[in-house]
Amino acid sequence: MVKVESVWDKDFGEIIVDREKTKKFSYRYRGSMRMTMGLFFSNNEYEHWRKKVLSEKMP
């Protein structure tokens, strides 16, 4: 364990999630239903969806 005093000014890292693993181990997880079902965008997925929506021309 890191000493409490030295922990305060440390930053958290990036959130990296493997959707398949999240779903696979969902039976051991008691948190958000959305996460358990893989209903989230990682950064790359969001950018991909964003480009798709913007490329669709409106009538």
Residues that bind another protein (CB under 8 A): 5, 8-9, 11-12, 14-15, 17, 34, 39-43, 46, 49-50, 53-54, 56, 58-59
Residue 30 vs 56, nearer CB to another protein: 56
Residue 4 host element (H or E): helix 4-7
Residue 54 host element (H or E): helix 43-55
Query: What is the nearest approach in angstroms of another protein to the Cβ of residue 21?
Result: 14
Residue 8 vs 27, nearer CB to another protein: 8
Q: What letter does residue 22 receive in the DSSP assignment?
A: H
